[in-house]
Chain A
Amino acid sequence: MLPLVLLLAVSAPQPVGVLSTTKGKVEVVQPSQGVFRQAEAGLLLESDDAVATGENGWAEIMLTQSLTLRLAASSELKVHRDFLFLGNGRVWIQSMSSPESLAHELRVWGGKLAIRPGSTLIAERIAGRGVNITVIRGEATVIMKNSAYPAQSVLESQSYWLRPSVVGLRPQKSSRAIWKILSQESRRVLGDRLGLEAYLLHWVQTVKTQFRSPSASWEMPKMETYIRGELGAQFDSLLESAVRPAPFSENEVPAKGPNVRVEVSFEGS
């Protein structure tokens, strides 16, 4: 009896992840079932299960090794115990694994990515163009299929196009536009779960305004020859100019005529 119980326990499929949040049309196909069926949040995923989102679909998936995925609309992703496969669409991947862990593998058409633990990236397959990889944090290494070219490292804030028909492309600095779109999508579905918006709204509602009083005369223009205090600045320099003599003596500066004195001396006189 005991061996049978043990066998049954072992025979229970080991989950590799869970659909933690869904919105809109999200379907899962499990090899054992063979057909797509509507999936709800909380569904445990097994190795080789595939998740597909509809045109209005969105899904968050938590996998082993602290890997979290967010699947955008019209996307397909297969989860395997050892790798992921992006069939179509766009996926946001965040790893919270420790640096000592093994790299995560994302397979795409035309190659695969080794995602360094602790990284966050977005991969998007655009039919006819290839796969775009944007690394938000950390690093990913792109390995092209059937290519003699070496693996290409994509660093933080870089973007890379993986095109099976083109080799030798270099990573470019990313505008992060795609990340902003995905962040907004996530916020729409997940809401303000950190409480950031609530904090900002409260701050906006209660911000202490400090409107400037009408400016004082000594500030307009805020320009003095020498600073002499608020009251002195406006009048003392003017008074000083009015009462102080010129820096030259009067005999140095005749009212009229040239400042030239001609002396003539006669020898012997």
Chain B
Amino acid sequence: MHLLTLLLLSSVSTSTTSASPVATSSVSRVVHTEAAYFSAMAKGSSSLHQKNYGLAALAFEQATKVKPQSARAHHHLAISLSNLNRNQEALDALAKSAQLGNRSIEADELRALLLIRENQIPQARAELAKIESLPSALLGMSLNVSGSAPALYAHLGEVSRAGVMTTSVLAASAASRGLALQAHSLATIAQDLGHEFNQALWSNAMRDLVTRINEEQGALTMRGRLKTTFDHVKNPEFKAAGQTTLPSATRFSFAAEAALAWRFDTFRWDSSVFALQRIYLAQNQGLSDYAINGLVWANRFTIPLNQRPNATRLHLSLRVRDLYADNFRVHYANNIEGGPSLRLPLGSSSFIELGILGTATDFIDRSPPDDVVSSQNRDLVGQRAFIELAWANEDLSGDITASFLRDDARGEAFDMNGLSLSGRILADLSGGLYLRTGAGVGLGRFGPVGEVSVLGAAAIRNEFRLYGEIAVLVRLADWLQLSLENHYLQNAGRTGHAYTDNILSFGVEVQY
């Protein structure tokens, strides 16, 4: 001990022989400052660890006073204030820390969390986009940040605490986006993992989520709706320009639909029966052939190709349509169409769907309209190939579809190859008010009839179609909706075949 004292004294005397009293005082202050700073930091850390956030905040605040230039002290103060829900003060402390050189990932994560709490969602999303870490990806999933999910897949189902959290968050994300199959599957996995790792809170949360899924989206869910529209129709007979026709007519349309979705373990079956009845209010004798009765039975199987919330989904669709008129006295046609399509997610809120469908239409022989339309048989078998880009955000959703169409009819005059491009947007104007608008263009090439080498251009006919719609929807309640819609169609064919029609309709829809 004596030796130590001697050593210390000699050391001090050596180091201070040339030092002035002022310098000695300065050194002393530095020693004191450092000790006070580290003591405050240690006390703050200990309090933080013990979740005594008030005491931690006081200690770190003390540390910032002792060393105002310490980025770390401000950083820890921000953590303490965040846990006290003093979000704005925490953001200020973080800003100060960043100003002093703090570029840590933890600081970015905390900033994102504080911005979420302060409901500054766009800023939080921007912050999260800069960070590559598991917590940031999890936070991103809670905000539907596109690109967050891939970073989490490595932890999906992982036998670890991170695996429990990740799988749970992915399950909740799937549930928030209506993906019941994936949500149910992931929540079950997360629940088991939670049990295994004694993460009771997470496990219970997943158990509750499974219960909610079963309650809200049980094995069998049903939906019914009735829709009535009052329509003002121009050119109800689809007559070409120059031909004698009724310029306009008014009608009622009644539509009823019953649909069900049956969720199996790994896939889902949607099925729907739809019926439409139209009644013309005036000249109902002359328009009886256009007072249609339509029936549809549609089906779709959805098969996710894996358990991820953003899994590619395979759809198999089949739809059968039967078209009558004049209270089923005229039978126009029946049609069957269907095929596979693949839905590829592009993030959490958009996807691309690719599909190839087959279609077959049988125009009923010997029904009156068939006799007058053409001497050629119009029955056709066709193919459709399409690509659709769709997105859905909180306020705006829409889709754009490009298609290739081919009809191979028995009568060559009805053979057709065509292309179409259409798009539609639905905007949520808030307060239950929605605006929908859409447009489409199509080009169809009919024929060739006879020998092209002989007839040349006369062997084919081109038709260009332009379509536009605008609708205002008012959702008065979950079960009641009013609509005001206008649909316009212009068909630019050759003389005698060009026509336009327009439908203005007001509708009421009731849903169950």
Contact = CB atoms under 8 A, between A and B. Distances in A.
B202 A260 contact: no
Contacts of A17: 38
B365 interface: no
Nearest to B78: A194
A260 B454 CA distance: 7
Interface string A215-241: 111111111111111011011001111
A196 interface: yes
Given A184-B160, A239-B332, A204 B13 contact: no
Interface string A149-180: 00000000100000000000000000010001
Interface string B145-183: 000000000000000111001001101110111101001
Given A231-B229, A248-B449, A7 B175 contact: no
B461 A247 contact: yes
Given A212-B180, A238-B332, A217 B9 contact: no
B82 to A, nearest CB: 6
Contact of A96 (B72, B208, B271): B72
- Tier of interface size on chain A: 35 or more
A242 interface: yes
B31 A221 contact: no
B27 A10 contact: yes
Contacts of B307: none
B391 interface: no
B35 interface: yes
B61 interface: no
B309 interface: no
A98 B373 CA distance: 84
B168 A253 contact: no
Interface string B123-150: 0000000001111001100100000000
B424 to A, nearest CB: 6
Interface residues of B, number: 174
Nearest to A101: B101
Contacts of B321: 234-235, 238
Nearest to B102: A96
B288 interface: no
Contacts of B229: 231
Contacts of A38: none
A232 B503 contact: yes
B46 A253 contact: no
Contacts of B43: 42
B257 A41 contact: no
A258 interface: yes
A210 B176 contact: yes
B28 A6 contact: yes
Contact of A120 (B105, B208, B373): B105
Interface string A90-103: 00001111110100
A229 B487 contact: yes
A107 interface: no
Contacts of A211: 175, 178, 180, 213, 216-217, 221
B438 A217 contact: no
Interface string B353-375: 10101000101000001100111
B16 interface: yes
Nearest to B49: A21
B470 to A, nearest CB: 11
B494 A247 contact: yes
A180 B135 CA distance: 11
Contact of B161 (A157, A187, A220, A255): A187
B487 to A, nearest CB: 5
A51 to B, nearest CB: 14
B193 to A, nearest CB: 13
Interface string A244-269: 11111110110100111000000000
Contacts of B8: 11
A220 B261 contact: no
Interface string A23-40: 000000000100000000
B450 A258 contact: yes
B463 A213 contact: no
Contact of B34 (A15, A68, A136): A15
B42 A136 contact: no
Interface-central residue, A12, A187, A196, by most chain B CB under 10 Å: A196
A128 interface: no
A44 interface: yes
Interface stretch (A59-67, A71-79, A140-148): A59-67
Contact of B83 (A95, A195, A234): A195
A191 B47 CA distance: 13
A180 B105 CA distance: 13
A126 interface: no
Q: Which of B38, B142, B411, B420 has the most CB of A within 10 A?
A: B38
A221 B341 contact: yes
A221 B357 contact: yes
Nearest to B459: A259
A207 interface: yes
B312 interface: no
Given A209-B176, A223-B357, A231 B253 contact: yes
A89 interface: no
B337 interface: yes
Contacts of B422: 224, 226-227
Nearest to B268: A212
Contacts of B217: 209, 211
B274 A197 contact: no
Interface in B260-305: 260-261, 270-274, 276, 289-290, 292, 294, 296-300
Interface of A: 6-7, 9-21, 32, 41-44, 60, 62, 64, 66, 68, 94-99, 101, 117-120, 136-138, 157, 176, 180, 183-184, 187-188, 190-191, 193-197, 199-201, 203-205, 207-229, 231-232, 234-235, 238-250, 252-253, 255, 258-260
Given A14-B34, A14-B35, A137-B104, 19 more contacts: A6-B21, A44-B42, A66-B71, A96-B100, A97-B71, A98-B100, A184-B160, A193-B49, A199-B117, A207-B176, A214-B271, A216-B259, A217-B273, A223-B357, A226-B465, A231-B253, A238-B335, A242-B373, A243-B289
8 contacts: A96-B101, A211-B180, A217-B298, A220-B272, A220-B300, A223-B337, A258-B450, A259-B454
Nearest 8 CB-CB pairings of A with B: A259-B450, A98-B101, A221-B317, A214-B259, A96-B71, A247-B461, A18-B38, A20-B45
